[in-house]
Each structure stands twice: as structure tokens, then as C-alpha cells.
Structure 1
């Protein structure tokens, strides 16, 4: 008799992880001294944790401080610093009691989804989208509702689009800046969407993990400023460069605080103690982090200048994050094969668009430019040489 497999066993892959493996395998075949693989497939800052955060972890280890479980919602000091961040950055008073420290944003999403939705609930999101949104929802028995977006809506959902939905969804996920397109919702747009969701009984989940990484075209705003019923997700992985530390947070509405706490107690117990200590110290590393951001800004400018001459001249408005979402429909109708060929022929790893949009992503790819600046800026020349062969 065949053994049963659960619903989660059918979760689709997160293709960028497969690209990482392929890039690692390609790099291992290159001879010593050869130019390496340009790692433009993953949104992982190349610099690692800021010095002050790493030193805080080192001090804690040298002091032989016990690193046991913390409260499920995290260390009080870190939660207080996050609350201070909302006051100083957005002018929003968020009590520390509504902040939950999580195992990265990746650990925050299932907590939020399980607390806010039931199996069978419908949760809307723009397409293209960050793949784990839909994959986690699917694994939990919920239904993603995709809203096709393009350059005309700046790859973001609009209020008019939401008002046409019938039936209304149970939830909506927005991301600003978004992955993969890097576009943002203006404060007035986010406010209108947040207020509409609250009035209609649609639970808003606002992904704000790329906050701090915007390029001056649109102001950053938080859904916490516009709705007490919204769930805000953020992370130390992107602006703070702490991907492998697996540390993030949720800003929760009052009605979900205890449900999420109970879920966190059972699913994760707590985020890693040492990562929480390092994250608290990261708030004091603004000078170093802003210098890194300037490196991303320069890499972005170099790519936006150089890619059109290499044939990549259809790029989404990159307001924030550290991605370029490129329409390559004039070059291919198979982004998966195109990215594989780029890795083999140009030693550039990029993520095929089908990871972010299963219906239209065959004509798109995503470049990440948060790696070492000196390497990222080589991409246009390599691409020109490859495509002219």
C-alpha cells in the first residue's frame, strides 16, 4: 500500500534556490584564476552583518552568556528598539507589545497566515510576486488569488483593481518595495488600500522587508500608519544585511497578538537568541549600512546605464529593493532556458521570471545587484559578449 503524503509535499519549488545550486555547481567547474560566476540570482547582500552587530554577538559569546530560549515574541530590548524604529522613521507609535520577533520574514509569513486565515480562504496578491507567498498559502490549504499587474500599474495592485473583485478575498498581500520589480506604492496609494481593506474586512499583510532600500522616487510608508488591522512583516535580512542570522519581525494588530504568540511557541519557540542580540546592535550601525546602500545605488546606476546596450532595455521602474525586473520577450520566450544559457555562456546567475509569474514570467528575468559592486558592474560587458556570439 502506498503511503500518504501531505498537502505540503505538493508545494511548488522556490526556483531561485535551484539557481543557487546550479551557480554553485558552475563555479566549482571553473579553473583557478578564471573570472568567477556573477551572483545576481539571489537577494542576499554581499557584505554580511554590519560590524557592530557581529561584535555584539562576539561579546556575548566571550561573556559566556547563556543563549537559551527567549520569550516567543523575542527579547524585550529588541522589541523596544523596533518600536523606537517606527517612532523615529515613520512617526508611528507602535507599542512593543504588538511586535513579534520571528525567524526571519520567512518564519513570519506562516505565523501571520495561520493566525489570520483559514484553510480555503482566498488571499490576493499582485503578479509578479515573491514565490513563497503563494507557495506557503498553498501548503496551508489557502488559495492565492493572482492579480495580473504590469508596467501600466507599475507592477502594483490598484484600488480600482481591488474594487472589481467579486467575491472579495479574505486577505491581500502588498509589498513596497516589491520583489521582483522593485516598484513602490506611494503613501497615498498604500493608505487608500489599507483603509479599503479595513472597511471591507479584508486582512492586509504588508511586506516591508526592503524598507531602507529606496532610491528617492517614492517615499517609504508603513501600513501600520494607516490601519490597526494590518499585519506588517519586516526583516533584518535586506537593509541590515543579516540574511543568515534568520531574524525578522511582525507588527501585529491587537486581535492577533495572542494567537500568533501561541503559534510561535509551538512552531518555533523563539528566534535564535544570539541573532536577537546582534539585531538589536544593528540599529546602531546606520553609518556603515548607509555606505553599503550607496554601493547598491552605484551598482544600480551602472546597470541601468549599461544593460540597454547589451540588449536589456525594458526594465521596470526600480524605485527600491535591489532588483531589476527585465522584459526579455524580444530575446526569448523561455526565461528558464535563457537563464541556464546565460549561466553556462556568460557565467552570470539570474533568476528566471517564471519563479515570480507562472503565466507571463517566461518573458522576464530578475537581476539582483546587492552583491559585490566591483563584480555586479561587469554584467553588461559579459552579456554583450555572450549575446553577440
Structure 2
């Protein structure tokens, strides 16, 4: 089943009008229209061109700030009279690097991220194509703005992370939700996408996640390759959420133990990642996107206007995330997630729920409530009763799947073994 728009409807009056549209919506301002020719090839398929609304002028101060940083790295003694940034140093005790950076991040951090792809995947990434953002949420906002126009159709799997749906809908993009289930391991397939196109028309984009939230399922190399090829044939832009890469539980001998990055398969794909999950840096609000050349200028323009730059202290701190010591610590954390996951899998008979999604990665367990629905009615009532009766908090599936999520709940085992063991004991006792 394919659903369009979920609970959201695209307001007819929103969005920029088409170029030269003289209707009630007016025309694109000349200042913006004049920049559009510089952000994409008009002869390219629509989905592979930047959005019209991303063709805004960059904030020149931030562009110059980025150039100053590059020149200083090259040894130039630049005196900047550019930014409205106090020259007085931060108060004692605060982190020293607290000034603006380039809108797409510092050169050292972008290079370190590129090095991460070389080390983990054997994939060469040009640091110039790395955009550091305020978390992966900031990346999705900017990427969706840069890639899609109001009224474009973008498909995503359901159940899935609700922010995709909500951000796209807020931007006036038509969300095409692809209902998935056990037969496709809760991931989209070319056949499901063909059905979506037959029902709704051509797609401008496809958002995939591997490992996925809430299901934890992953796309294997063959499955992701099939989706890449489908997007090429259909002229759709692929956006791959890879923020849980590294938090994976592969079978022995798996050739891609950390997951397959879409950048390896398609240079036009957008890859989004974050320091929040594998590195556990949720509060630092730092992520990144790997961009195709056509989106670099639009992303820089948008970023320089929206956030000016990612937080400088977080960027400085994030450089240490790529040290051998940091990787070793994070692998210990992943081993802890694996042990917590095993506790849940071992408790499945005692939980007496229904079918669960294969938890290939991330730190989520998504399951139908099965027999518990007869007693509680739906997942919202179950979650509320569990919290009030046993002080255990789980997430009802309705947030991830508005149509069928009333039957399911998501457990996060990011809290660790001790918390999971205690929670399982309470749940089983609560259910009687």
C-alpha cells in the first residue's frame, strides 16, 4: 500500500512559483532568479538539479570567512575586518575555538570525515563535497531545501523516522509513504516504488535508512544497488541516512560489517551521517552530508543564511572522534549494545508479543504487540499503561507509522544491559 502525504496536505499557496509564473503567486525575485543558472544544469533531469528555492544568494560574510580560514591554513597572516564578531576572547573556562567557521564546516573536520570513509569503506571522498551541519536534522533540512521544490514527490518507507515526513511536509513536498513489512524486511524495493509511481506519478526523490529507525533493518549491497539503479532509471535523487553505520551486528564473514555507503554506489546520492549515534555525541548537534557537485553551491548558500556555521567548539572537539582511542571506545559501546540486544531476543518468548523486525543494526527493537493488543487495545494505551504501572517507557509505533503503528512499539536498548534487564523484568511482571 502506498500513502501520499500521511496526515499532511501541501498548502496550495505555499512555495515559490515557477520561473516566469505571472499568476497570483507572483514571480521569483530577480535577485534569486539571477542565481539559478549558477546552481544547476538546466538540461539535467529535474531530480538531479537543485531546487529553485535554493537559488538564493550566499551570505557573503560567511563565504569570506571560509576563504579567510583557508588562507590562514596556507600560512597567510590575514587581518579580518569582515565579520561582526567580537575580538575579545571568551571568558576563562570556556572552550577557546568559539568563533564562526565556514558555512559548511572547518577544513580539518571535513578532511577528517573524508578520511573516515577511506578507513571504513575504502571509498575516496573529496573533502570539498563534505558539508558539516548542525546535526543530521540540520543536514536533512538543508538537503531537502536544496534538492526539492514544493509539490515534488519524495518516497520513504513506513514505518520510518518521522522527522523525514515532517520536514518534507513542512517544506511543501508531497510525501509518498511506502508501506513495508516482513516480506521486504521493512525496506523499500523497486517493485514497491514502481507501484508508487503508477499510483502517484514520477518521484523526485527517495529517502532510505540503513540501519533504519525504528526497525533496525539494513539494506544489503544488492538491495541498495537495486534502489540506486531504480533511481537512475526514474530520475529520482537518492538520499541515504547512514547515521547508525557502525552500530551493526553482522553475521560472521559479512563483507560489509558496518553497512554499505551509498557514496560507493552512486556519486549523485546524498549521504547523511552524524556524530550523535556511533560516537554518542547527541548534545553536540553535529552531523554531515556528502554532496554531489550540483548541490554544493545551493547547500553553502542555504547554510550561510540559516545557521551561518556549525558550532565551532563542537567541530573542534569532533576531530578527536577519529582517533584510534575514540574508535576503540566506540567499539566497546557497540559490543554493549549487542549484549543488550541479546537480552531482548532471549526474552522474546516471555514477552509474548507478536512478530518483530530483524534488528540488524542501530539500537532499536520494533515489534507488533500481538496478544497484548487484546488486553490494551493499541500501542498508545499499552505504552501509557506500562509507564504508569511499571515505570517503563517505550515508544508507540504511531509516531513511525501513522497507518499501522497502533499495533507496534519500539524499544531502545541504547540505555545498556542493566537498564534493559531491569525493564524486561518489569514488563514481564506487568503483563502478568
For residue 370 of structure 2, the aligned residue among 321, 325, 329 is 329
Contact 2:279 2:330 in 1 (8 A): yes
| Paired residues for 1:43-62 under 5 Å | none
TM-score by length of 1: 0.82
TM-score by length of 2: 0.74
Contact 1:316 1:324 in 2 (8 A): yes
**Alignment-derived partner of residue 266 in structure 2:** 227
**Alignment-derived partner of residue 342 in structure 2:** 301
Q: Deviations over 1:150-181 (max 9, x none)?
A: 01110000122223322221110000000000
For residue 358 of structure 1, the aligned residue among 395, 402, 407 is 402
Question: For the residues of structure 2 that align with 1:80 and 1:242, how far apart are their CA atoms?
Answer: 19
For residue 187 of structure 1, the aligned residue among 206, 214, 221 is 221
Alignment partner of 1:168 is 2:202 = yes
Contact 1:326 1:364 in 2 (8 A): yes
**Is the alpha carbon distance of 1:269 and 1:370 closer, same or farther for their aligned partners in structure 2, counting shifts above 3 Å?**
same
Shift of 1:321: 0.4
Question: For the residues of structure 2 that align with 1:312 and 1:334, how far apart are their CA atoms?
Answer: 13
Shift of 1:62: 5.9
Q: Deviations over 1:340-388 (max 9, x none)?
A: 1110111111100000000000000000000132111222211111011
Q: Secondary structure at the match of 1:378?
A: helix
Bigger Cα displacement from structure 2, 256-265 vs 159-168: 159-168
Alignment partner of 1:239 is 2:283 = no
Question: For the residues of structure 1 that align with 2:330 and 2:380, how far apart are their CA atoms?
Answer: 34
| Paired residues for 1:210-359 under 5 Å | 210-217=244-251, 219=256, 220-284=259-323, 285-332=326-373, 333-359=377-403
Question: For the residues of structure 1 that align with 2:188 and 2:271, how far apart are their CA atoms?
Answer: 17
Shift of 1:206: 0.4
| Paired residues for 1:9-28 under 5 Å | none
**Alignment-derived partner of residue 377 in structure 1:** 421
Q: Secondary structure at the match of 1:215?
A: coil
Q: Which has the higher contact order (CA 8 A, sep 6+)?
A: 1
Structure 1 stretches lacking a partner, 5+ long? 1-5, 8-59
Question: For the residues of structure 2 that align with 1:373 and 1:283, how far apart are their CA atoms?
Answer: 26
| Paired residues for 1:105-124 under 5 Å | 105-124=136-155
Contact 2:353 2:370 in 1 (8 A): no
Shift of 1:231: 0.6
**Alignment-derived partner of residue 136 in structure 1:** 167
Shift of 1:197: 0.8
- How many equivalent pairs are there? 331
Question: For the residues of structure 2 that align with 1:66 and 1:102, how far apart are their CA atoms?
Answer: 17
- What's the C-alpha RMSD, in Å, of the aligned pairs? 1.7
Q: Deviations over 1:109-132 (max 9, x none)?
A: 010001000001110011101001
Structure 2 stretches lacking a partner, 5+ long? 1-9, 12-90
Who wins on radius of gyration, i.e. which is larger?
2
Bigger Cα displacement from structure 2, 308-317 vs 366-375: 308-317
